Chains A and B, each alone.
Chain A
Amino acid sequence: MRAQIFVFALSIVICAKAQAELKWEQTTIELHPTPADKQAIGHFKYQNTGDKSVHFKSVRTSCGCTAAQTQKDEVPPGDKGEITATFNIGDRTGTQVKTVTVETDDPASTTSVLTLKAVIPQQLAITPTFVFWQQGEAPNRKTIGVSAAKDFPVKHLKVASSSPDFEAKVSEAGNGQFKISVQPKDTKQPIAATLTIQPEGSPKTFYATARVTTAPAINSR
């Protein structure tokens, strides 16, 4: 019984030693892009610590929004390199976790999963981003709440409606809190408008939508 356990443990140790050929400096990278950044780029550095060359068979990403590139297909013994993962931020917000799956011909460690975590600052929390009225409903005002992040002080906010059919007014509640009051001129026919929300001094623009729908509303605000 002891011999069996010893053999089992030894096999684990041997496997662990063999897996160390392509050694990653880190397999998880956390990035904090600025609001102006369009991409977040992570550099996953590695070294071949084994005594034979390692070849990359495939590099796959978990999302179409992320691209990964190897510098070379073959990594000779002792050689260093990196895999560059480029995450296109687009209109994403909050914490984004994307993975890069790397397959090599190293039989002891064929697959490595690299994790790119991007914490995208959410400058403004807008709730809700959509207000609507049922056709024929009383054209009462509805409110959109806007809250600025602590590290993104906003003193003033400008709001513009893309259509004269909707009126939008901003009121400041202090501490980076605002209320946008939206009202349609009437609800006789389906109409829509995009509300452009512009914090003072920020290059970034935010949006909300207002609409009079044709069908009965199931949730009123």
Chain B
Amino acid sequence: MKSALVCQTLVLAALALVPGIGEALYFHDKISWRSSIPASEMVSVEQARAWGDSAIWVDARPDEDFAHDHVPGAFSLNEDRWNALLPQFLAAWSPSKKVVVYCSSLNCNASREVARRLRDEAQLKNVFVLEGGWEEWLKKK
């Protein structure tokens, strides 16, 4: 009885693996729409707030969302108008500041892309992505 149950469990587990293996094979060379980012480059709302004036906030959402509401003092910097917005942000940036980039929610990718460009292209250090984005900031307002 016990061995039959184990056997059935194993069979079901093996069957459940089939679609997973199929997906892994099919998507092995596909790019995830969400950029991966090391945990050390993420920051929580509490941590970022604790940085106080030594943090500079960057809003990676579209212009309309920024115009509607944003973290007080944040700079708008999105990839729709990167070339126009970047100089405004850099004019306020200073080497001692930590940069906190956010987008709309946990699932958005814009903050990761903006952070990546600030690190790779502008070669800024201390650039972090806000965990949970604007939604999380609002929850802990």
Contact = CB atoms under 8 A, between A and B. Distances in A.
Contacts of B97: 215
Interface residues of A, number: 40
Contact of B83 (A1, A91, A99, A115): A91
Contact of A218 (B33, B86, B95): B95
Interface in B95-141: 95-97, 104, 107-110, 113, 121-126
B61 to A, nearest CB: 7
A99 B33 CA distance: 7
A43 interface: no
A143 B82 CA distance: 22
A37 to B, nearest CB: 15
Contact of A194 (B15, B87, B93): B87
Interface residues on B, range: 35 or more
A174 interface: no
Contacts of A207: 83, 86-87
Nearest to B94: A215
Contacts of B104: 64
Given A218-B96, A219-B95, A219-B125, A130 B90 contact: yes
Contact of A215 (B7, B65, B96, B107): B96
A166 interface: no
B40 interface: no
B31 interface: yes
Contacts of A71: none
B50 interface: no
Interface string A115-132: 101000000001111101
A219 B64 CA distance: 34
Interface of B: 4, 7-8, 11-12, 15, 30-33, 61-62, 64-65, 78-83, 86-87, 90-91, 93-97, 104, 107-110, 113, 121-126
